[in-house]
Amino acid sequence: MHTLEPYWKWRDYYTAEEDEKSPFYGREYSEFEFSDKIYNYYIHPQWDYIGSETLYLKLLYVDYKQGAAIIEFIGEWNDCIHNDIMFLKRDVIDILIENGISKFVLIGENVLQFFGESNEYYEEWYEDIKDNDGWIMAVNFREHITEDMIESNIHHYVNINEKYADINWRKYRPFHLVSYLDDLLIKVIFSE
């Protein structure tokens, strides 16, 4: 797992550690010192710790004019034991929402397991953004993860669909990705 690095090719557009509004403002990263682990596996030092023992993330991009954030995840998303959604909502999402973010792209190709419990934080997140034409979209999560999310009734608040499961998001510039997903969401809603 230590070789799985967060996507870095958008660093010319945005870096969370240099954004004064970011929950990760001022963080310093090592390229060589591996200290964080998920279970017994070291992870790349560029991932951000959010209070969870099993879920890390990287805030890849925030555009305050567009009102959008793109977040990449790695590990096990465990709301049952570690209450990962609480850490995510309180320590990252709430700060972004306070600064005008209402569109959230969650990239989950490196999420290996999902254990849902209550959907209260997901509902709160949705309620916080819905009046600003906001949305939350799960992109490239593995099939068994999306099935577990749907089984946990998260799909009422997070857009989970097979059309979002295989998107080549790296070919886009970040602001184009958000526009593409915004259009795709409208198409999916009207085709249902």
The CATH class that applies to domain 16-191 reads alpha beta
What is the per-residue pLDDT across 111-134, written as a single tens digit (0 to 9) for each? 999 999 889 999 999 999 999 999
Domain boundaries of the chain, sorted by first residue: 16-191
Which one-letter amino acid corresponds to residue 177?
L
Strands 103-115 and 55-63: unpaired
How far is residue 148 from each of residues 114, 135, 151, measured CA to CA in Å?
A: 7, 20, 5
Q: What is the mean pLDDT of the chain?
A: 92
Selection from 190, 138, 133 nearest residue 160 by Cα = 138
- Confidence bin at 174 (pLDDT 50/70/90): very high
What is the per-residue pLDDT across 24-42, written as a single tens digit (0 to 9) for each? 999 988 777 877 888 888 8
Query: Given a cut of 80, is residue 85 above it in pLDDT?
Result: yes
